[in-house]
A and B are shown apart, each in its own frame.
Chain A
Amino acid sequence: MPPQTLEQILEGRRSQPHQLIEVLQDVQEDYGYISEKDMQAVSQGVGVPIMEVYRVASFYKAFRLRPAGKIVLTMCMGTACHVRSSRLLLDQAIGQLGIKPGEVTLDGLFSIERVNCLGACAMGPIVEENGSYHHHMTPGKLRKLIEAIRRRETEDNQNDQTQ
């Protein structure tokens, strides 16, 4: 589904303060993050003071206030994954990519997010990559996965450039 315009997202929700979170959810889903400009527009559209919009956007982890990397690696930090050593996976990702959770690599390719349980506990530890769940991960497998993604993306890049 192509991303909606802000107008479309606000349709049917104008001047309805209780729709604030739903509107922000749609903005996050369609644009990948919520910019200052979008927040101002949402504030006007939904009828909520800008301080409150900013407060809500910064409270909920679902909302990113800065753009994410092309590939978002979401590491599940739930209990079941934890006892299967998910901490080691997070350390591996941080070490290999050189960024902390919430940050983006310099080339804009990767960002790491932590989530407190994806609900696929039997298959843990889980690393989610842009919607795909990688299960029963180990630090070794994660290292190979990141390298494979990097290779894939650089090849795609090269292919795009040569065409």
Chain B
Amino acid sequence: MTRLNSFRELEHLREQLREQRKNITSTVMICGGTSCQASRSRAVIDAVRKELSKQGLGMSVRLCVTGCHGFCEQGPVMIIEPSKMFYCHVSPDDAFEIVSQTLVKGEVIERLLYTDPATGERVQTYPEIPFYRAQDRQILSQNLMIDPCSIEDYITAGGYSALTKVLRGIAPVDIIKEIKSSGLRGRGGGGFPTGRKWDECAEAPGDEKYVICNADEGDPGAYMDRCVLEGNPHLVLEGMMIGAWAVGAQKGYVYVRNEYPLAVKHSRIAVKQARELGLFGNNILGSSFSFDVDIARGGGAFVCGESTALMASVEGKVGEPRPKDVHAVVDGLYHKPTVLNNVETWANVPAIILNGASWFASKGTPDSKGTKILALTGRIKNTGLVEVAMGTPIRTVVFDIGGGAVNGKQVKAVQIGGPSGGCLPVDKFDLAVDYDVLAEAGSMVGSGGMVVMDEESCMVDVAKYFLAFLQDESCGKCVPCRIGIDRMLEIITDITEGRGRPEQIDVLEELADTVSQTALCGLGKTAPNPVLTTLRYFRPEYKAHIYQKKCQAGVCKALITYSIDPDKCNGCGVCLRGCAHKAITGGKKQVHTIDTRLCQKCGICRSECKFDAIQVV
């Protein structure tokens, strides 16, 4: 690829690329994201590629390996344009039929279509699928058309035209004004007004400034940033460049967590390609703007999602947060003014520049503008990545998009905002996805992870889970976080193991309050949130664990017993053979029984039994 030296040359390249694709009649988009790769999409991609070549369709059909399409549970996922046909659970053996029937003859392969569980009917195109229909996929829809390893795809789709518009003649102060009036707020969890952050950095004294993309995404259950970075890295990079121009930075870092090898790989490829084209470097496209980006890998530390810890990590040090009496926008990376924003925040910037602040602000609520990507997971039918306008009620997300609970169970709660967020019960599902609304309810939008729980989730266990997670990830420097979380966990463990005492709830609440006020960084300060929200909304469960020593949901091992329902057991013996502790006895075709003294509640029998005969009381 030859270096582009002017805006005109970029536009010319775009025209050329579009011209080259004029003869394409169909595009087959197969998801190559991490989740679909887990269900072997790579094999599907290879099979389709071979088949296309065999049938001589290489010139008229474009095979595009894309980033995540969002409907992960249905993977491997394939979309065909222009018909918008949606095929799911595609296997390599389907390649021949797909090519010969759908691509050549335009025929639909019924068995590969999505079946709407509500109506039992098959749906042909993806905009008709309820999961997609209820969403507003501003950012995620771009994943469909782009091969993340191809800068040409990005340019063909219009990429880097926002940057061109900016460099051609929008002053930094005007960009900041635009971002401010758009109402964009940080998508990483803090929800801090982005325009204000950029303004403070631009005002800070100094010539050496930095922009950083926080792709550490440590919230368990959240993978929005992974998909945006894996699927459309140039969108994020373009956003960063616009930000850098606005605040006066010449260098940027994308800090990607270690557990996302594909995101690291795709970001590196994107940077390399952008450098080759001259989109990074000196005098970009002939302008006075010089900028470059490096990819920095995380070392496996959730705490490095905290801004000062992240910057310490980029500097090659341990990720221990520093007191934030002076903000990063003045004293950040290497003590220079730094703007640190989340992947999704950066990803929103190019569209705001192209379409205007009022376009962005026309969606959402007065205080929370635009759309938000959510990772909808847990015990519901449709799990995956979802993008909705701010202000959408939780109910819509969980039931209309998520499809409600699996296996006929009842949805009980939704955990929003990761370990810093909180659990909200079903009767709060009319609350909107909105920064201030959720904060008031004790939860938070956070990064956008939404984990749905049903009647088989124990809320005390959930609180314990988050405390254990945070204890594991705490840097350990300050007393309230290191010792405080440990003691909270000690109390909750007592409760889940049948040693709970009534006065412990008061101690727990007071300790939670102390930790939230005195901890050094955000991790510690928000650590008590899962405990506080579960106490607020699910106190009866705590009481049952303490007073009756019962775990209604059947999770806390010390408080449950496994038994076999004699009405359902047909004596097939699968559980007996599966039991590693020889706790099950029973003759052939006779009702089996579990010896509770030997039973370790490991769950194997339950997962193997095809008749749902293993009960947990």
Contact between chain A and chain B defined by CB under 8 Å: yes
Do A91 and B260 have beta carbons less than 8 Å apart? no
Which of B221, B260, B317, B580 is within 8 Å of A80, CB to CB? Answer: B221
Name the interface residues of A98-156: CB closer than 8 Å to any CB of B: 115-124, 126, 133-135, 138-141, 143
Q: Across the interface, do A143 and B604 meet the contact criterion of CB distance under 8 Å?
A: yes
- Option from A20, A22, A121 in Cβ contact (under 8 Å) with B297: A22
Are the CB atoms of A140 and B608 closer together than 8 Å? yes
Query: Across the interface, do B259 and A60 meet the contact criterion of CB distance under 8 Å?
Result: no
Q: B375 contacts which chain A residues (CB < 8 A)?
A: 80, 121
Q: What's the least CB distance linking B55 to chain A, in Å?
A: 31
Point out the residues of chain B lying under 8 angstroms from A95, CB to CB. Answer: 580, 600, 602
List, in ascending order, chain A residues with CB within 8 A of B604's CB. 92, 138-140, 143
Contact of B299 among A52, A59, A92 (CB under 8 A): A59
Which of A3-11, A65-73, A81-89 is the contact stretch?
A: A81-89
Q: Are B220 and A120 in contact (CB under 8 A)?
A: no
Chain A interface helix/strand/loop/mixed: helix
Q: Out of B221, B315, B580, name the residue touching A143 (CB < 8 Å).
A: B580
Minimum Cβ distance to chain B for residue A18 (Å): 4
A85 touches B603 (CB 8 A): yes
**Contact between chains at A122 and B259 (CB < 8 Å):** no
A36-61 CB mask vs B (1 if < 8 Å, else 0) is 00000000001010001001100111
Indicate whether B316 reaches chain A with its CB closer than 8 angstroms: yes
Contact B299 A121 (CB under 8 A): no
Q: Is B188 an interface residue (CB 8 A)?
A: no
Interface pair A83/B457, CB less than 8 Å apart: yes
Digitize B238-267: 1 where CB-to-A-CB distance is under 8 Å, 0 elsewhere.
Answer: 000000000000000000001110000000
Query: Is the beta-carbon distance between B603 and A88 smaller than 8 angstroms?
Result: yes
Partner-contacting stretch, out of B33-41, B144-152, B176-184, B534-542? B33-41
Q: Indicate if the CB atoms of A117 and B259 lie closer than 8 Å.
A: yes
Interchain CB contact (< 8 A) of B301 among A59, A79, A85, A143: A59
B34: A residues at CB distance < 8 A? 118-120, 133
Q: How far is the CB of A48 from chain B (nearest CB, A)?
A: 7
> When chains A and B are docked, how far (Å) is the Cα of A24 from the Cα of B299?
9
Contact status B451-A80, CB under 8 Å: yes
Interface residue tally on A, bucketed by range: 35 or more
B218 at the interface (CB under 8 A from A): yes
**Contact yes or no, A126 B38, CB < 8 A:** yes
Docked complex Cα distance between A32 and B263 (Å)? 21
Residues of B within 8 A of A20 (CB): 316-317
A113 CB to closest chain B CB (Å) equals 10
List residues of chain B with CB within 8 A of the CB of A134.
38
Chain B min CB distance to A86 (Å): 10
A119, B260: Cβ atoms closer than 8 Å: yes
In the complex, A83 Cα to B133 Cα: how many Å? 27
Q: Is B160 interfacial (CB-CB < 8 Å)?
A: no
Interface size on B, as a range, is 35 or more
User: Cα distance A116–B296 when bound, in Å?
Assistant: 20
B299 contacts A61, C-beta separation under 8 Å: yes
Q: Which of B275-314 contact A (CB under 8 A)?
A: 296-302, 313-314
Q: Which of B360-368, B376-384, B480-488, B506-514 contacts A (4 or more CB under 8 A)?
A: B376-384
Nearest-Cβ distance from residue B357 to partner chain A, whole angstroms:
32
Q: Quick check: is A75 within 8 A (CB to CB) of the other chain?
A: no
Is there an interface contact between B220 and A122, defined as CB atoms closer than 8 Å? no
Known: A122-B384, A140-B608, A143-B580. A116 touches B469 (CB 8 A): yes
Q: Which B residues touch A27, using CB under 8 A?
A: none
Contact A80-B378, Cβ < 8 Å, known A19-B316, A22-B296, A126-B38:
yes
Nearest CB of chain A from residue B305's CB, rounded to whole Å: 11
Q: Please determine whether B377 and A80 come into contact, CB atoms closer than 8 angstroms.
A: yes
Residue pair A83, B453 in contact (C-beta under 8 Å): yes
Question: Which residues of chain A are within 8 angstroms of B379 by Cβ–Cβ distance?
Answer: 83-84
| Chain A CB within 8 A of B436 CB | no
Let me know if A121 and B580 touch, CB within 8 A. no
Instruction: Let me know if B316 and A48 touch, CB within 8 A.
Output: yes
Q: Chain B residues near A52 (CB, 8 Å)?
A: 317
A91 CB contact (under 8 Å) in B302, B383, B602: B602
* Residue of B35, B319, B472, B608 touching A123 (CB-CB under 8 A): B35
Chain A nearest CB, measured from B77 CB (Å): 11
Q: Which residue of A lies closest to B294 (CB)?
A: A22
**B259 near A118 (CB under 8 angstroms)?**
yes
Inter-subunit contact A117/B220 (CB<8 Å) = yes
For the complex, give the distance between the alpha carbons of A135 and B578 in Å.
20
Chain A neighbourhood of B222, CB < 8 A: 117, 119, 121
Q: A25-B258, A121-B221, A140-B608 are in contact. Are A80 and B383 (CB under 8 A)?
A: yes
- B residues less than 8 Å from A118 (CB atoms): 34, 259
Q: Is the CB of B301 within 8 A of A61?
A: yes
CB pair B301–A139 under 8 Å, yes or no, is: no
B233: CB under 8 A from chain A? no
- Additional 9 contacts, C-beta under 8 A, given A117-B223, A120-B34, A140-B604: A60-B299, A62-B299, A82-B465, A116-B302, A118-B34, A121-B72, A121-B377, A123-B75, A133-B34
Can you report 10 A-B residue pairs in the complex whose CB atoms are below 8 A from each other?
A21-B297, A22-B316, A25-B297, A56-B317, A77-B220, A120-B35, A121-B35, A121-B377, A124-B377, A139-B607
Could you list which residues of chain B lie within 8 angstroms of chain A, going by C-beta atoms? 34-35, 37-39, 72-73, 75, 217-223, 226, 258-260, 296-302, 313-319, 375, 377-379, 383-384, 415, 418, 449, 451-453, 457, 462, 465-466, 469, 472-473, 475, 578, 580, 600, 602-604, 607-608
Across the A-B interface, the 6 shortest Cβ-Cβ residue pairs: A60-B299, A78-B220, A122-B72, A61-B300, A80-B377, A138-B607
